[in-house]
Chains A and B, each alone.
Chain A
Amino acid sequence: MKRIRWQRLLCLALALCCLTGSSQAVTLYWGLQGENVRQLQLKLQQYGYLKGAADGVFGQETYDAVVYFQRKNGLTVDGVAGEATLAALGLNLSSGSSSSAGSSSYTSNLNLLARLVYAEARGEPYIGQVAVAAVVLNRVASSSFPNTISGVIYQSGAFDVVSDGQIHLSPDATALRAAQDALNGWDPTGGCLYYYNPAKTTSSWIWSRTVLTVIGKHNFAI
C-alpha cells in the first residue's frame, strides 16, 4: 500500500521533470506569411476546408477556413491557428522556420501592438482594446516618450505585462483588429497618453493626470 503511494510520487516527479523541457509553440494568424502558413493551408485543403490556393499568405480565405475547421471540430472558434488547432490538424510546425511575420516592418509592428493589446486589455470591450493601442501610438507621436512602437512598449516600467511575460501570449483576432484599427488612425481616446484602472491604482501621480474619457474599466488621461 505504502509502496504504491511512493511510486505515484516518483511518477509525478518524473512527469514534472519532463514538463520543463517542453518546446516553443507556433501560432498562425491573419497577416502572417511563409512556409508555416503554406503548410497549414495545404492541410486545410486536404481536409476540404480551404478552396483557394495555398499561397503562404494568411488572409480572408485562410481565416474563414480555420474558423470553419474550429467550429466543426469543437475547438475555440477564434480564427487563430494555435497549439490546439494545429494539433487537431496533425501539424507539427517549428517556430524556427518562417512563421515570422511578413517582410515589412508594418506587419511586425502590427503583431507587437496586437500582443500588447491582448495582454493588457483582452477582457475589455472592443473599443477599449482599440483605445489601448491608440495610447501606444499617441506615445510614439509624443516627445515625452520613445519614437517607435517597440520603444514605447518595451520602455522600462511602462507596461506591467512586459515584465510579467503576458506580452508573449498569442493575440486573438479581436486584438489584431484593434491594433489594425488604431494603426489606421481610429483613436477613441482623443490623444491620451496614460490609462489606469481606478479600482486598482494607488499611485497619486497617475490620479493627478487629466482624465479625458472612460472606456470599460479604464480611465484614459493625458
Chain B
Amino acid sequence: MKDNAKRVLIAVLCVCLAGALIWAIAGQIAQSRYKLRLKSMYERSYYSFVGGMDELEVNLSKLMVTGAPEQEVLLLSRVSRLAEDTSREMASLSAGDESVSDMMDFVNRLGDYCAVLCQSAAEGQPISQTDRENLAAMLERQAELGEMVRRLDASVLTSLEMDEVEPGGQEDPFSLSVEPETQVPALIYDGPFSQAATGEPKALGQETITQEIANSVAAAFLGTERVKSVASMHGIEGEIPTFGVQVETSDAGTLFVQVTKQGGQVLLVMPESSPKESNYTVEQCRQSAEGFLRERGFGAMEAGYWQMYSGLVVFNFCAVLDGVRLYPDQVKVQVSMETGYVIGLEAGNYWRNHVERQLEEPVLTQAQAVDRVIGLEVTNVRLCVIPMLQKEKFCYEISGQRDNDRYLIYINALDGRVENILKLLLEEDKEMVV
C-alpha cells in the first residue's frame, strides 16, 4: 500500500518534470524567435539609416550642379523627405537617444531648410547666393557625417542589449559626431525647428522685480478675495525667467503661478486639482474669462476656440485691433465649470508677440479673396494676422463648409496667396482647429 503511494508520487513527479521541460524548451524557442524579429527590425532601421545618409549626400550634391528651377524643386523636396525618413530611422536604432541627438539635429535642420527653400522655389523664387553657400557647407558636413556613419559598428547599433551608454564616451558609437570643432552652418531662416523659433519676449517691459513683488503680483492677479495664503516656490530659468508662486485659494485649492522676472507679468497659472462638478455652461465660463482678462488689462480680446475636459473649459483668446484678430497674441484661459472662476492661464505667446502693430491696408477686397476659394460654401470672412514660419501674415480668414466638414482658409490680403488651410474638428466637448 505504502509502495503504491510512492510509485504514484514518483509518476506524478516525472510528469511534472517532463511538463516543465517542454514548457522551458518552448519558451526558449519563442524567445529566440522574438529576438530574431527584434534584431531584424533594428537591422532594417540601420540599413535604411545608412542608405538614407548616402542618398542625402547624393541629392544634395546634385542640387549643387543643377541650374534648372524645376529640378531644384524636385531635389529640394526629395532632400527634405529623405531627411525626415532618415531621422526617423535614426531614432529607432538601438543607440540611446542622447548619443544620436547631434546627428539628428543636423539632419532635421537640413530637411527643414530644404523644405523652406522648396516652398519659395515652388512660388518662383530662385535659390539665392547665400542659400547656395549654406547648402554647399551643409553638403560638406553631410559628407563628413556619411563617412563617419560608414565606419560605425553595425553590431552596436543593432544590439539587443540595452546597456546605458554614456554619450560621448568610449562605447558611444556616435561619439565622433559630438566633436565641437565641426560647425554646422548657422541657418538664417526662422523655421519651425529653429532655435530662435520661440523668440524674445517683446511685450514684457523693462523693470526687473523681486520674489516678494512676484508674490503680491500673483495674489492680485488671481483676485485678493480668493487668496488664502501665498508662498514662494521654484521659478524657471528658461528663455523667459520667472519666479514661482504657490497660491492657496478658497475656491480652487492650490494654484501654481509663474511671474516673469522682467516686467513682473503673469506667464502661467495652473491648478493642482480639477473641478468636481459642472454648474456653469460654456457661455457663462466664456463671459467669466473675458471679464477676467479685461480687468487684468489685456485690452480687447476675443475667444476663438474652446475645449472642455475634466470639468473645465479652455478658451483660446486672441487680441483684436480694429476688428482684425491678431492670432499670434494669444492667451489661453481655463475656467472651472464648478465655480465659474479662472483657474488656469497661459500667456507665453502674448508676452512674446504683443507689440503695437501698424496694419496695412488690404490690397485685395473681401470679394476678391472669396473668389480665390473654390468648392467651399463660404459662411464668414474676416481680416486677421496669422503667425507663419518666417513672419506674420496679414490675411482674410474665410470660414466655410464642404459636405459636413468645416474649413478655415487664409488668403494673404496683400498678394492673394493661400497661406494656410485648417480643418475644424467639431465634437460635443470641443470646437477646435487642426
Task: Decide yes or no whether A118 CB sits under 8 A from chain B.
Answer: no
Task: Decide yes or no whether B428 CB sits under 8 A from chain A.
Answer: yes
Question: Within B222-270, which residues are at the interface with A (CB < 8 Å)?
Answer: 234-240, 242, 244, 256, 258, 268, 270
Task: Decide yes or no whether A147 CB sits under 8 A from chain B.
Answer: yes
Q: How far is the CB of A194 from chain B (nearest CB, A)?
A: 8
Task: Decide yes or no whether B51 CB sits under 8 A from chain A.
Answer: no
Whether A155 and B278, one on each chain, are in contact in the complex, defined by CB atoms closer than 8 angstroms, is no
Fill in one digit per residue for A31-47: 1 if any B CB lies within 8 Å of its CB, else 0: 10000000000000000
Q: How far is the CB of A39 from chain B (nearest CB, A)?
A: 19
Q: How far is the CB of B379 from chain A (nearest CB, A)?
A: 22
Task: Decide yes or no whether A217 CB sits under 8 A from chain B.
Answer: no
List chain A residues, Cβ under 8 A from B344. Answer: 181, 186
Whether B307 and A184, one on each chain, are in contact in the complex, defined by CB atoms closer than 8 angstroms, is yes
List chain B residues, Cβ under 8 A from A157. Answer: 94-98, 162, 164
- CB contact under 8 A between A187 and B348, given known A144-B104, A144-B108: yes
Task: Decide yes or no whether A177 CB sits under 8 A from chain B.
Answer: yes
Task: Decide yes or no whether A204 CB sits under 8 A from chain B.
Answer: yes
List chain A residues, Cβ under 8 A from B109. Answer: 143
List chain A residues, Cβ under 8 A from B428. Answer: 55, 57, 59
List chain A residues, Cβ under 8 A from B349. Answer: 185
Whether A127 and B239, one on each chain, are in contact in the complex, defined by CB atoms closer than 8 angstroms, is no
Question: Within A21-38, which residues are at the interface with B (CB < 8 Å)?
Answer: 30-31
Fill in one digit per residue for A139-150: 1 if any B CB lies within 8 Å of its CB, else 0: 001111111000
Secondary structure class of chain B's binding surface, majority of residues: mixed
Whether A106 and B434, one on each chain, are in contact in the complex, defined by CB atoms closer than 8 angstroms, is yes
Question: Within B251-300, which residues are at the interface with A (CB < 8 Å)?
Answer: 256, 258, 268, 270-274, 277-278
- Chain B CB count within 10 A is highest, among A158, A190, A211, for A190
Task: Decide yes or no whether A197 CB sits under 8 A from chain B.
Answer: no
Whether A30 and B310, one on each chain, are in contact in the complex, defined by CB atoms closer than 8 angstroms, is yes
**How many chain A residues touch B (Cβ–Cβ < 8 Å)?**
58
Q: How far is the CB of A58 from chain B (nearest CB, A)?
A: 10
A205–B108 alpha-carbon span in the complex (Å): 23
- CB contact under 8 A between A125 and B272, given known A145-B101, A214-B234: yes
Task: Decide yes or no whether A151 CB sits under 8 A from chain B.
Answer: yes
Task: Decide yes or no whether B179 CB sits under 8 A from chain A.
Answer: no
**How many chain B residues touch A (Cβ–Cβ < 8 Å)?**
67
Question: Within A128-168, which residues are at the interface with B (CB < 8 Å)?
Answer: 130, 141-147, 151, 154-158, 163
List chain A residues, Cβ under 8 A from B194. Answer: 143
List chain B residues, Cβ under 8 A from A57. Answer: 427-429
List chain B residues, Cβ under 8 A from A91. Answer: none
Question: Within B393-424, which residues are at the interface with A (CB < 8 Å)?
Answer: none
A2–B307 alpha-carbon span in the complex (Å): 67
Fill in one digit per residue for A1-15: 1 if any B CB lies within 8 Å of its CB, else 0: 001001000100100
Whether A146 and B314, one on each chain, are in contact in the complex, defined by CB atoms closer than 8 angstroms, is no
A174–B344 alpha-carbon span in the complex (Å): 16
A159–B310 alpha-carbon span in the complex (Å): 27
List chain B residues, Cβ under 8 A from A174. Answer: 274
13 A-B pairs whose Cβ atoms sit less than 8 Å apart in the complex = A3-B5, A30-B310, A102-B427, A126-B270, A127-B272, A155-B92, A155-B97, A176-B309, A184-B332, A186-B268, A188-B258, A212-B237, A213-B244
Q: Which residues does A use to contact B, with CB under 8 Å?
A: 3, 6, 10, 13, 30-31, 55, 57, 59-60, 64, 102, 104, 106, 125-127, 130, 141-147, 151, 154-158, 163, 173-174, 176-177, 180-181, 184-192, 203-206, 210-215, 222
20 new A-B pairs (CB below 8 Å) besides A3-B9, A145-B101, A190-B239? A30-B309, A31-B309, A126-B273, A141-B193, A145-B97, A156-B91, A156-B162, A157-B95, A157-B96, A158-B96, A177-B274, A184-B307, A188-B270, A190-B242, A191-B239, A203-B166, A206-B98, A213-B236, A213-B244, A222-B238
